[in-house]
């Protein structure tokens, strides 16, 4: 039977989450023939693989385990795209989960749709506070097949909201950087120039677990992995610069908006480090790099106030650092 939806589950040392994550896909027997779960074990050092094999044995027509050497989050998505057989494609990280009733609703609608991209709200689950918050989609676009180029979105759609047509990913050879963090931005942006049609739904499928100690967006981890983030900044800036002249203005603006947000994040990581002359020099060099290599991105007014202040006069660095320190404490 042809699958409707391929769900790639990137899994690195997710053994402790597996018995919570995977059953949320499997509680409706009628759904199992329509989905395939590609559990990609990214060289885990715990018993993720052995646990995954047990699920594969129990659900051989639904779960496929792909075991590979460690290559990072991007490599698991690349492998998922390679092996996907469903008409549509979605990523659900191994420490997150789904609402099974709404996943069933989504699959039923996917059977009737023929679009390049589908967008749902999603739920943020704060692990520390044990609280939930629904992130909605823009209401004016609900239940309409639309041209992506006709949209005027207020923000860039996150990975948790997105379901792509698998053919968009395969035919355009979408490939993410490997062995680094933060490549979700690449997954969000790289297919967009090829997305012609989009459809918005009003119910959440994905539950995103955040505010955990091991998360890559944790401040200590962003400092540790600052060079990973810098590499993604360069990759995404280069991607934006390479867009065809035929790319619509709205698509370019959409990609530019997320690119600038990514650059803002790079500055914020630098500002989160202890105040020092060396760090001030590092920020200066980064600023020069963006200005020299990507002037069309640099000369934009969408940068955050900290970045704007630093560019006006880098002697504001200490004040910016102090304000950022306060911001992080209040977060």
User: Shortest CA distance to 263 belongs to which of 228, 236, 227, 282?
Assistant: 236
For helices 317-330 and 305-312, angle between their N-to-C axes, nearest 10 degrees: 170
Residues 134 and 239 in one domain: no
User: Residue 324: what pLDDT?
Assistant: 86
User: Residue 87: what pLDDT?
Assistant: 98
Considering only residues 303 and 215, tell me which one the structure prediction assigns the higher pLDDT. 303
Q: What is the mean pLDDT of the chain?
A: 95
Residues 163 and 69 in one domain: yes
Compute the average pLDDT of residues 10-35: 96
pLDDT over 70 (residue 114): yes
pLDDT over 70 (residue 179): yes
Residues 185 and 43 in one domain: yes
CATH code (residue 15): 3.90.550.10
User: Shortest CA distance to 296 belongs to which of 264, 246, 252, 248?
Assistant: 252
Residues 250 and 197 in one domain: no
Residues 182 and 223 in one domain: no
Domain that holds residue 302: 219-330
pLDDT over 60 (residue 121): yes
Residues 247 and 201 in one domain: no
Compute the average pLDDT of residues 270-274: 95
Residues 265 and 195 in one domain: no
Residue 214 confidence class, pLDDT cut points 50, 70, 90 = low
Compute the average pLDDT of residues 127-148: 92
pLDDT over 70 (residue 199): yes
Residues 41 and 173 in one domain: yes
Residues 318 and 241 in one domain: yes
**Considering its fold, how many domains does the chain have in total?**
2
Residues 198 and 255 in one domain: no
pLDDT per residue as tens digits for the range 218-237: 788 899 999 999 999 999 99
What distance in Å separates the CA atoms of residue 227 and residue 224, rounded to the nearest whole number? 8
Domain boundary, last residue among 210, 228, 249: 210
User: Residue 330: what pLDDT?
Assistant: 77
Considering only residues 90 and 213, tell me which one the structure prediction assigns the higher pLDDT. 90
User: Residue 216: what pLDDT?
Assistant: 54
User: Residue 147: what pLDDT?
Assistant: 96
pLDDT over 60 (residue 5): yes
Share of the chain above pLDDT 70, in %: 98
Compute the average pLDDT of residues 159-182: 98
Residues 21 and 150 in one domain: yes
Residues 29 and 171 in one domain: yes
Compute the average pLDDT of residues 143-156: 92
Compute the average pLDDT of residues 246-271: 95
pLDDT per residue as tens digits for the range 304-327: 999 999 999 999 999 999 998 888
For helices 317-330 and 249-272, angle between their N-to-C axes, nearest 10 degrees: 90
pLDDT over 90 (residue 68): yes
pLDDT over 90 (residue 46): yes
User: Residue 328: what pLDDT?
Assistant: 79
């Amino acid at each position: 039977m042809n699958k409707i939806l391929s769900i790639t589950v990137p899994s690195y040392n997710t053994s402790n989450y597996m018995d919570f994550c995977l059953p949320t896909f499997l509680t409706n027997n009628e759904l199992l023939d329509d989905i395939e779960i590609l559990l990609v074990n990214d060289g885990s050092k715990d018993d993720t693989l052995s646990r995954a094999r047990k699920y594969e044995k129990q659900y051989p027509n639904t779960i496929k385990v792909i075991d590979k050497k460690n290559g990072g989050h991007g490599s698991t998505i690349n492998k998922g795209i390679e092996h996907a057989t469903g008409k549509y494609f979605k990523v659900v990280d191994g420490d997150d989960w789904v609402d099974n009733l709404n996943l069933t609703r989504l699959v039923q609608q996917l059977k009737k749709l023929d679009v390049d991209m589908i967008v749902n709200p999603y739920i943020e689950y704060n692990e520390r506070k044990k609280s939930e918050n629904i992130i909605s989609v823009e209401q004016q676009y609900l239940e309409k097949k639309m041209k992506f180029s006709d949209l005027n979105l207020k923000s860039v759609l996150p990975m948790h909201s997105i379901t792509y047509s698998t053919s968009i990913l395969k035919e355009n050879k979408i490939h993410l950087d490997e062995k680094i963090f933060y490549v979700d931005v690449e997954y969000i942006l790289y297919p967009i120039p090829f997305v012609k049609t989009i459809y918005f739904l009003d119910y959440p499928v994905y539950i995103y677990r955040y505010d955990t100690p091991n998360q890559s967006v944790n401040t200590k981890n962003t400092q540790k992995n600052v060079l990973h983030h810098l590499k993604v900044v360069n990759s995404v800036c280069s991607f934006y610069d390479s867009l065809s002249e035929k790319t619509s203005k709205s698509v370019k603006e959409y990609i530019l908006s997320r690119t600038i947000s990514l650059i803002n994040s790079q500055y914020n990581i630098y500002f989160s480090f202890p105040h020092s002359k060396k760090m001030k020099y590092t920020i200066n060099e980064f600023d020069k790099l963006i200005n020299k290599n990507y002037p069309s991105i640099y000369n934009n007014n969408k940068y955050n106030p900290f970045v704007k202040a630093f560019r006006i006069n880098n002697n504001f660095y200490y004040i910016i650092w102090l304000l950022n320190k306060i911001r992080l404490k209040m977060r």
